A and B are shown apart, each in its own frame.
Chain A
Amino acid sequence: MALAAFSWQELAQQVVSGLASGGIYASLALALVLIYRATRVINFAQGELATLTTFVAWSLTNHGLNKWVAFPLTLLIAFAGGVALERVVIRPVERAPVLTVVMLTIGLLIGLNGLTAWIWGGETRSFPSLFSTGTVDVGGVAVSYADIGVIGVTLGAVGLISLFFRFTKLGLGMRAVAANPETSPLVGIRVGWMLALGWGLAATLGALSGILVAPTVFLEPNMMQAILLYAFAAAILGGLESPLGAVVGGLLLGVILNLAGRYVPEVGGESRLAVALAVILIVLTIRPSGLFGRTVGRRV
């Protein structure tokens, strides 16, 4: 049945919309990777932080602020929130075992989820899209403005971040801390603040993914739960170490999920979550370092 209706145009459409949702997973995955590289910690609260900041954006636009003002303002608030969170909650356990910090982020996951429901209530809200509706014809394939916009914004954000890491002194400092936290203070880098900056950047990327995804999944306190699982899958697919891997992994996962949802009759709606779980398990079993990660030996 599904095969009878096959057309190349539709395949191309599915790939493009897969890339668009993949872009959203990529930005959250990149947020996870930034924190992982710097501190070897997976931030389980990354999704809830994104939800909270997206609600802030909703409140700002709801109070009459233009979305082109409200959304950048939200990104700034998210950045400040991320930095504050690192300084207040994560800092005291900086030298604790990784699993302690992970427990802490799980506490934040539950607490922030509750806080969002507490402030804004549990109901589902619609969220303004950044882009106008409608489609544009690209070589016989109808592509929606929203898809192009989401892909453009995520690639732009990723580009800006890689320029920041490559060409600024601050970015160099952050890379130094990620590579060697013990010796970077010797050359005058303030490790603590670099880590806080990393949390800020990650929160900003998370807020971006929340703002991009909210128009399609609608705004509610558990909005990012599934997206977080997709971001985990994307980050693992690309290799937790590699920012480029997170982006490629995100885009690839978006396409995989979309094509599986369209052409595999078993997969649809919620069972995409099971596909993401399968991706995680398969990658971890066959190639734990992911597509772009390097395998490192263990020392005693």
Chain B
Amino acid sequence: MRLAWGLRVAAVAAAGLSLAILPFLVGDYRAFELGRMGIFFIAILGLNLLTGYTGQVSIGHGAFMAVGGYTSAILATRCGVPDYLTIPLGGLTAGLAGLLFGIPALRLRGLYLALATFGVAVAMPSIAKHDRLEGLTKGTTGINLPELHSGTWLYGVTWAIAAALFLLAFAIVNSRLGRAFRALRDSEVAASSMGVNPAAYKVAAFGISSFYAGVAGSLYALSNAYVNPDVYFVSLSLFLLIGAVIGGLGSLTGVIAGAAFVQFVPPNASSILDAVSPFAVDSRAPGVPSVILGAALVLVVLLAPTGAGGLLRRISAPLMGRLYTRPGGG
């Protein structure tokens, strides 16, 4: 047991060190891309807490990212708050929005919640453009942030926050809160007969998850140095859900695979298609990234419903088992 823990700590330290020097090796643009991947990592982590652990599907987390992003942009331009300080505030505002939305969503089980959050995703751009909010959101033009940061800056800030939020998620999942979430997911009736208050825990899950989305949305705004309704496009919510499914619902380590997928597959969709397609096709046409994403989601659901996290567990379980069990022991 002690040996295994030592190995774990060493592995984590080595991984942390190599991640810290990585942006200086790969150049600023790659560092930017990896930073963007970190943003997806945070958002998908939050979505996974809600969907994977509590069993509430949200197809509208892009909208909560938008709340975080707009909060950051408005605070940075109007109140002169340094933009990195707006990140937690963006998260808190989105978390609050999530709590408020979580209350009507309490009455919605499974499918109905998916429907309502889909509505939020589709309606969000038109709400941001609405005349009444135009003074705040600047309508279709959007808001320019004061500063465009380097890729290395984004990488460092994003992954530092991502690491902290990952540890938080890990702590939540392995606490009383996380056990209540999972109990609700597996059977709401059984959970409530064990003394878990479904309403309180579901709203809490929605709030926490939206907080993650808001932090990601703030970072997203900072990475672009502008926000407008099209930055948080409708399909962004779908991308996050795809990332969560591909990473594996109910797996925290799998989220990294989901984030990498969402960040790197759509821009490289045409080369992927060229590689897998047996026929000569026009791989640069519009729509190809969506076809690849949709096909990937369908295939994962049909063939590997536990996603990358599930595959990882299946591969690592025998190895870890051997590592942890004493020779001659059971």
Q: Which residues of A line the B interface, CB within 8 A?
A: 40-42, 44, 89, 92-93, 96, 98-100, 102-104, 106-119, 121-122, 221, 225-226, 229, 232-233, 236, 266, 269-271, 273-274, 276-277, 280-281, 284-285, 288, 298, 300
Cβ-defined contact, B293 with A114, below 8 A:
yes
Residues in B neighbouring A233, C-beta threshold 8 A: 119
Q: Is the CB of A107 within 8 A of B127?
A: no
20 A–B pairs (Cβ distance < 8 Å), ordered by A: A42-B114, A44-B118, A89-B298, A93-B301, A98-B111, A99-B57, A100-B301, A100-B305, A107-B297, A108-B298, A110-B297, A113-B287, A113-B294, A114-B287, A114-B290, A114-B292, A115-B290, A269-B126, A271-B130, A277-B116
Is the beta-carbon distance between A232 and B302 smaller than 8 angstroms? no
Q: Once the chains bind, are B107 and A106 in contact (CB under 8 Å)?
A: no
Do A276 and B123 touch across chains, with their CB atoms under 8 A apart?
yes
A289 to chain B, nearest CB (A): 11
Given contacts A118-B285, A221-B287, contact A111 B115 (CB under 8 A): no
For the complex, is B199 an interface residue (Cβ under 8 Å from A)?
no
In this assembly, does B143 line the interface, its C-beta being within 8 Å of a C-beta of chain A? no
Contacts A225-B234, A284-B112 hold; do A122 and B286 have CB atoms under 8 A apart?
A: yes
Does B291 sit at the interface, judged by CB under 8 A? yes
State whether B189 touches A300 (Cβ < 8 A). Answer: yes
CB of A271 within 8 A of CB of B298, answer no
Contact present for B286 and A274 (CB under 8 Å): no
Give CA–CA (A297, B137) in the complex, Å: 44
Q: Say which residue of B116, B290, B302 sits within 8 Å of A93 (CB atoms).
A: B302
* CB pair B122 A226 closer than 8 Å: yes
Q: Restricting to B122-164, which residues have a CB under 8 Å from any CB of A?
A: 122-123, 125-127, 129-132
A-B contact count, CB below 8 Å? 152
B67: A residues at CB distance < 8 A: none
The verdict on B43 contacting chain A, using a C-beta distance below 8 Å, is: no
Q: Which residues of the other chain, A, contact B129 by a CB distance below 8 angstroms?
A: 270
Check B108 for interface membership: any CB of A closer than 8 A: yes
Asked if A274 contacts B242 (CB within 8 A), the reply is no
Closest Cβ of chain B to A248, distance in Å, is: 19
| Residue of chain B at shortest CB distance from A299 | B189
Most buried by A among B59, B122, B293: B122
**Residue B115 contacts which of A98, A107, A232 (CB distance < 8 angstroms)?**
A232
Q: Which residues of A contact B238 (CB under 8 A)?
A: 106, 109-110
Given the complex of chains A and B, what is the CA–CA distance between A137 and B114 in angstroms? 44
- Assess whether A285 is in contact with B104, with CB atoms less than 8 Å apart: yes
Report which of B127, B292, B302 forms a contact with A92, defined as CB distance below 8 A: B302
B190 at the interface (CB under 8 A from A): yes
Contacts of B73-124 to chain A: CB distance below 8 A: 104, 107-108, 110-112, 114-116, 118-120, 122-123
- Specify which of A113, A118, A270, A285 lies most central, judged by the most chain B CB atoms within 10 Å of its CB: A118
With A226-B122, A229-B118, A229-B122 in contact, is A284–B287 under 8 Å at CB?
Answer: no
Q: Which residues of B284-330 have CB atoms within 8 Å of chain A's CB atoms?
A: 285-298, 301-302, 305
Q: Is B187 an interface residue (CB 8 A)?
A: yes
Residues of chain B within 8 A of A41, CB atoms compared = 111
Report the 9 A-B pairs with minimum CB-CB distance, sorted nearest first.
A111-B294, A114-B290, A117-B287, A107-B297, A270-B126, A110-B294, A114-B291, A118-B287, A107-B298
Say yes or no: A104-B301 contact (C-beta < 8 A), given A99-B110, A281-B104: yes
Cα distance, A93 to B297, chains bound together (Å) = 14
Interface residues of B (CB under 8 A from A): 55, 57, 59, 104, 107-108, 110-112, 114-116, 118-120, 122-123, 125-127, 129-132, 187, 189-190, 234-235, 238, 241-242, 245, 282, 285-298, 301-302, 305
Q: Across the interface, which residues of B come within 8 angstroms of A270, CB to CB?
A: 125-126, 129
Contacting residue for A300 out of B55, B57, B190, B292, CB 8 A: B190
Q: In chain A, what residue has the closest Cβ to B119?
A: A277
CB proximity of A145 to chain B, nearest CB, Å: 31
Of the listed residues A112, A119, A269, A274, the one surrounded by the most CB atoms of chain B closer than 10 A to its CB is: A274
Tell me whether B119 and A229 are in contact (CB under 8 A).
Answer: yes
What A residues does B122 contact at CB under 8 A?
Answer: 225-226, 229, 273, 277
Which B residues touch A107, using CB under 8 A?
Answer: 242, 294-298, 301
Q: How far is the CA of A126 from the CA of B55 in the complex (A)?
A: 43
Chain B minimum-CB-distance residue to A115: B291
**B298: min CB distance to chain A, Å:** 4
A274 → chain B closest CB, angstroms: 5
User: Least Cβ distance of A52 to chain B in Å?
Assistant: 11
Contact between chains at A236 and B127 (CB < 8 Å):
no
Residue from A93, A98, A112, A117 whose CB has the most chain B CB atoms within 10 Å: A117
Q: Which residue of B lies closest to A221 (CB)?
A: B287
Q: Check if A114 sits within 8 Å of B116, measured CB to CB.
A: no
Cβ of B132: which chain A residues have Cβ within 8 Å of it? 266
Question: Which of chain A's residues have a CB closer than 8 A to the CB of B235?
Answer: 110
* Residues in B whose Cβ lies below 8 Å from that of A111: 290-291, 293-295, 297-298
Interchain CB contact under 8 A, A121 and B285:
yes
User: Are B104 and A284 in contact, CB atoms less than 8 angstroms apart?
Assistant: yes
With A236-B115, A300-B187 as known contacts, state yes or no: A109 contacts B294, CB within 8 Å. yes
A150 and B116 alpha carbons, distance in the complex (Å): 28
Which residues of A are found within 8 Å of B305, using beta-carbon distances?
A: 96, 100
A106 with B123: CB separation less than 8 A: no
- Given known contacts A106-B241, A114-B287, A118-B288, is B107 in contact with A285 (CB within 8 Å)? yes
A288 touches B288 (CB 8 A): no
